[in-house]
Amino acid sequence: MNTTPLPSLTPHDVAHLLVTKWKRWAIPAVVCGALAAAYSLVAPRYWEASQALVVRQETAGSQGPTPGKFADLFEMRTMQETILELAKSQQVVVNTLKAVDQRLLGAAKEPTAEDIEKFRGRLKMLPPDGGEFGKTEVFYFYMKDPSRERAMELVGELCRQLDLGLKELRVTRAGGLILELQEQVALATEIHAQETDRLKEFESQVGADLGELRMLHSASSGQSDLRQEAVQLEADVRKFESQVRESEQLLGMLRAAEKDPQQLIATPNSLLVSQPALRRLKDGLVDAQLATAKLGGTRSADHPRVKAAIEGEKHIRSDLHRELVTAIRGAEAEVELGKSRVAATRTRLDSLQQRLGGLAERRAEYSNRVAAVDNSRITLDRARQNLSTAKAAQAAARSGSLVTRLDQPETGPYPAGPGRTVIAGAGFVGGLMLGLGLVFLTAGSPAGPRDSTPSLLSAVENVFQRPGKPSLVATRTAPPESVESLWPEAKVTPPAGKEASIQPVATPAPIREAPPKLELTPVAETTAELEWESTWTPE
C-alpha cells in the first residue's frame, strides 16, 4: 500500500498562492459571471398568474345529507382530478389560446401542437398553502407566461373555458345516461307487463277462492273464512255425533222400558229432555207408586182409596206404555236425522278440506308470481327514478356551475424564479469556485533539493493509480521562476553538474511482492531559481 503523505498548505501558503496565481481564479470568475449576466439579460422571465376556485358536488342524485357537499374525500379528489384532466384537454386549451389571442392581438390563429404542449407544461393545479390535494374544496390554477397581462388573461380564460367544458361534459354524460336509462325503463316495463299477465292468468284459474288464496299468502291476515268455516263444521260434526249417541242410548232405554216400565224410572232425566210427555208420565208414575205405597201402609188392600190408587197407577202405566211406543218412533226418527246431519256436515267438511288443500298447493306458485310482479315493479320504479334524476342533472348542467371563482386572477409583484442579480451572482460564484479548483489542482507543493514533494494532484493520483503503471509525469514549464518566490522557506540548491530527478513515480505493490522500482528520468537542469509545476496525463 502506498503511504505517500498528502501535501498540506498553511493559510499563509494559500494566501500567497491566491495572490501569485490570481489570473487562474479571477478569469473563470469574471467569465462565468459575465456569461451569467448576459444570460440573465436575454433569458425570458415568466410571470405566474393564479386563480382560486371552489368546487362542489352535483345536487341531482346526491347521496349526502347536505346538497352540494361531497359524501367523502374520495369523491372530492375524483372531481378535482377530472377538472385537472379537463383543463389540460385539447379542446379547452385550444379555445383558451384562441380567445386570448383574439382579445390581445385582435386575431386568433390555430395553436400548434408545440403551443398546446407549452400551455400544458406551464399549467399547474395546487391546493392552498399548507393543504393537501383532494382534502379541501378550494384549489388554485397557476399559469406562467413572459407577459404579465397575457398570464392573467390565460388563467382567467382557462377558468371560463373550464366551466363551459364541465357543462358540456355533464350534458353529454347525462345524455348518454338518459339513453341507457330509457332502454332500461322500456325493458323493465315489458318485464313487468309479462309478470302481471302471468299473475292475472293464475288468479283467473283460482276463481272464487282468490280471496282465500290471498289471505293464505299474506302472513299478517289471520285466519281465512274457509279456515273458520272448517273449524265450525268440525265442531258441528262433533255436536251432531254426540246427539246421535244420546238418541241411540235413549232409544235403547225406551225399548227396554217398553218391556219393563219399571226401568223407565231408572232413566236419567238428561235423556228425557227431548221427551217432555214421557218425562211427566214418569214423574206421575213415581208419584202414584208413592201414594199407593203410602195408603197401603195405613189401610188394607180392600180399602176404596187403596183400590183407587192402584187403579190410577194402572192407568198411568197404560198411558206410559202408549207414550213409550210414540217416544220410540220419535227417538228412531231423531237418530236417523242426527245421522243424516253428521253425514251432511262431514261431506261439507271434506269438500272444504279439499279446497283448502288445493289452495295450499297453489300458494307457493302464487307467492312466486306475486313476488315476481313486486320485483319487476320495484325495478321499474327504480329505473324511472334514475331516469328522472338523469334528466334533472342534464337540465341543471346547462344552468348551474360546479366551479366557482374566488376574486380575480392575480400575479406577484415580481416575475417567478431568480432575478438577474441572483443569476449573475450565481454565475460569478460558480466561476470563482471553478478557478479556485484549478488553482489548487494545478499548483505544486514546496519541496527540498533531494526529496521534492509532488503536487496535490500527483499525490492523489499516486494513491489511486493502478499497480505497476505510472500515472503522473512532471515536466518543466518556462519561464522558470525562483522557488523562494513561491516558498521562502524552501531555499535549496541542487548539486552542480548533476541532473535532478523530475518525475518520481511510485506505484503500490500487491501484498507479498517486492515494491516496484522508481524510475528516474532526467529531464532538465535545475537551479535554485527554477519553479516546477506538475501536469498530469493519465495513461
pLDDT of 18 higher than 70: yes
Residues 386 and 480 in one domain: no
* Average pLDDT for 387-410: 85
Tens-digit pLDDT profile for residues 217-264? 676 555 667 777 778 888 888 888 888 887 787 777 777 766 666 666
Residues 451 and 392 in one domain: no
Q: Which of 49-63, 79-93, 278-292 has the lowest mean pLDDT?
A: 278-292
pLDDT of 273 higher than 90: no
Residue 421, domain member (yes or no): no
Give the residue with greater pLDDT, 534 vs 269.
Answer: 269
Instruction: Select from 361, 382, 398 the last residue of a domain.
Output: 398
pLDDT of 163 higher than 80: yes
pLDDT of 178 higher than 60: yes
**How many domains would you assign to the chain?**
2
Residues 523 and 377 in one domain: no
Residue 299, domain member (yes or no): yes
Residues 435-440: contacts with CB within 8 Å, 24+ apart? 435/24, 435/25, 435/26, 435/27, 435/28, 435/29, 436/25, 438/24, 438/25, 438/28, 439/17, 439/18, 439/21, 439/24, 439/25, 440/17
- β-bridge pairing 123-126 and 138-145: antiparallel
The per-residue pLDDT for 67 is 73
The per-residue pLDDT for 160 is 92
pLDDT of 94 higher than 90: yes
Residues 456 and 391 in one domain: no
Residues 346 and 495 in one domain: no
CA-CA-CA-CA torsion sign (122, 128, 133, 134): negative
Distance, CA of 6 to CA of 367 (rounded, Å): 100
The per-residue pLDDT for 219 is 61
The per-residue pLDDT for 460 is 46
∠ CA 56-57-59, nearest 5°, is 120
Q: Which of 285-289, 308-312, 436-440, 481-485 has the lowest mean pLDDT?
A: 481-485
Which band of pLDDT confidence, cut at 50, 70 and 90, is reported for residue 499? very low
pLDDT of 479 higher than 80: no
Using CB atoms within 10 Å of the CB of residue 125, give its burial: 0 to 12 exposed, 13 to 18 middle, 19+ buried.
middle
- The grid coordinates of residue 278 equal 214421557
pLDDT of 382 higher than 90: yes
Name the DSSP class of 111. Answer: P
The per-residue pLDDT for 251 is 76
Continuous segment of H or E residues that includes residue 261: none
Residue 471, domain member (yes or no): yes
Mean pLDDT of the chain: 74
Residue 73, domain member (yes or no): no
pLDDT of 190 higher than 90: yes
pTM to 2 decimal places: 0.52
> How would you classify residue 248: left for phi > 0, otherwise alpha for psi between -120 and 50, otherwise beta?
alpha
Distance, CA of 303 to CA of 295 (rounded, Å): 9
pLDDT of 534 higher than 70: no
Residues 355 and 263 in one domain: yes
pLDDT of 198 higher than 50: yes
Domain range for 485: 1-13+444-529
Instruction: Select from 398, 424, 452 the last residue of a domain.
Output: 398
Distance, CA of 151 to CA of 408 (rounded, Å): 13
pLDDT of 514 higher than 60: no
Distance, CA of 348 to CA of 208 (rounded, Å): 17
* Average pLDDT for 140-154: 90
Name the DSSP class of 34. Answer: H
Picking from 274, 271, 262, 270, the residue whose alpha carbon sits closest to that of residue 320 is 262
Which band of pLDDT confidence, cut at 50, 70 and 90, is reported for residue 525? very low
Instruction: Select from 398, 417, 435 the last residue of a domain.
Output: 398
Give the residue with greater pLDDT, 100 vs 131.
Answer: 100
Give the residue with greater pLDDT, 60 vs 159.
Answer: 159
Residues 230 and 379 in one domain: yes
pLDDT of 186 higher than 90: yes
Are 447 and 532 spatial neighbours (Cβ–Cβ below 8 Å)?
Answer: yes
- The grid coordinates of residue 483 equal 522557488
Continuous segment of H or E residues that includes residue 404: strand 403-411
Residues 235 and 345 in one domain: yes
Residue 61, domain member (yes or no): no
Distance, CA of 405 to CA of 54 (rounded, Å): 6
Residue 249, domain member (yes or no): yes
Distance, CA of 203 to CA of 359 (rounded, Å): 11
Residues 462 and 518 in one domain: yes
Tens-digit pLDDT profile for residues 25-50? 888 888 998 898 888 887 788 888 99
Residue 71, domain member (yes or no): no
Residues 244 and 381 in one domain: yes
Give the residue with greater pLDDT, 86 vs 71.
Answer: 86
pLDDT of 315 higher than 70: no
The per-residue pLDDT for 214 is 75
Residues 318 and 451 in one domain: no
- β-bridge pairing 138-145 and 534-535: unpaired
pLDDT of 64 higher than 70: no
The per-residue pLDDT for 220 is 58
Residue 105, domain member (yes or no): no
Residues 341 and 449 in one domain: no
The per-residue pLDDT for 282 is 66
